[in-house]
Amino acid sequence: MPNDQHQYDVLVIGSGASGLSLALQIAEYADVAVLSKAAVAEGATLYAQGGISAVLDVYDTIDSHVEDTLKAGAGLCNEEIVRFVVEHGRESIQWLIDIGVAFTKNPAPNGHEYHLHQEGGHSHRRIIHAADSTGRVLENTLEALVRSHPRIHLFDHHTAVDLITAAKLGMKENRCLGAYVYDRTNDHVKVLRARFTVLATGGAGKVYLYTSNPDICTGDGIAIASRAGCRVSNMEFIQFHPTCLYHPEAKSFLLSEALRGEGAKLLLPDGQRFLHKYDSREELAPRDIVARAIDQEMKRLGSDFVYLDISHRPKDFIIDHFPTIYARCLQYGFDLTTGPVPVVPAAHYTCGGVVIDRNGLTDIPGLYAIGEVSCSGLHGANRMASNSLLECVVFARSAFLHIRERLAAMPATPVLPEWDESMVTDSDEEVVVSHNWDEIRRFMWDYVSIVRTTKRLERAKHRIRLLHAEIAEYYSNFRITNNLIELRNIALVAALIIESALRRKESRGLHYNTEYPMTSDPATARDTILNWVQEAKRIL
- Integer Cα distance of 76 and 421 in angstroms: 44
Question: How many CA atoms does the CB half-sphere of 143 hold within 13 Å?
Answer: 20
Q: What is the three-class DSSP state of 9?
A: strand
Mean pLDDT, the chain, integer: 93
271 φ/ψ sector (left φ>0, alpha ψ -120 to 50, else beta): left
Closest by CA position to 134, among listed 53, 47, 18: 47
Query: From CA 446, how far away is CA 453, in angstroms rounded?
Result: 11
Question: For residue 428, is pLDDT > 90?
Answer: no
User: What domains are there in the chain, each with its CATH number?
Assistant: 5-236+351-406 (3.50.50.60), 242-346 (3.90.700.10), 430-539 (1.20.58.100)
Q: Are strands 127-128 and 116-117 parallel, antiparallel or unpaired?
A: antiparallel
Distance (Å, whole) CA 425 – CA 9: 34
pLDDT at 103: 95
Neighbouring-strand partners of residue 342: 307
Q: Which helix (H) or strand (E) holds 162?
A: strand 158-165
Residue 194: pLDDT above 90? yes
Q: Which pLDDT score, from 0 to 100, does residue 3 have? A: 56
pLDDT of 109 = 62
Nearest to 362 by CA among 375, 379, 381, 349: 375
Average pLDDT over residues 420-424: 84
> Which helix (H) or strand (E) element contains residue 32?
strand 32-36
Say what the pLDDT of residue 495 is: 98
What are the pLDDT digits (tens) for 13-30? 999 999 999 999 999 999
* Helix (H), strand (E) at residue 179: strand 176-183
> Mind listing the pLDDT tens digit for each residue in 371-394?
999 999 999 999 998 999 999 999
Q: What is the pLDDT of residue 1?
A: 41
- Could you read off the pLDDT of 38-79 as tens digits, one per residue? 888 787 787 777 799 999 999 999 999 999 999 999 999 999
b/e per residue 381-393 (b: at least 16 CB within 10 A): bbbbbbbbbbbbb
Cβ of 492: how many Cβ atoms within 10 Å?
28
Q: Which residues pair with 12 in a beta bridge?
A: 34, 198
Which residue numbers are catalytic? 287
Q: Which position has the higher pLDDT, 2 or 317?
A: 317
pLDDT at 192 over 50: yes
Query: Using one digit for the tens of pLDDT, what is the confidence trace for 127-139?
Result: 999 988 898 999 9
Measure the CA–CA gap between 442 and 450, rounded to whole angstroms: 14
- Tell me the H-state helices in 182-249: 220-228
Tens digit of each residue's pLDDT (9 = 90 or more) over 443-500:
998 899 999 999 999 999 999 999 999 999 999 988 999 999 999 999 999 999 999 9
Residue 261: the pLDDT is 87
Write out pLDDT tens, residues 204-263: 999 998 898 988 999 999 999 999 999 999 999 999 989 999 988 877 788 988 899 899
Q: In one letter, which amino acid is 96? A: L
Helices of type H across 177-277: 220-228, 257-261
Exposed, middle or buried, 410 (CB in 10 Å: 0-12/13-18/19+)?
A: middle
Amino acid at 76: L
Segment 171-187 shows an average pLDDT of 94
How far apart CA 218 and CA 214 sit, in angstroms, is 9
CB 155 within 8 A of CB 33: yes
Structure-model confidence comparison of residues 302 and 497, the more confident one: 497
Total-model pTM: 0.91
User: Strand, coil or helix: what is 4?
Assistant: coil
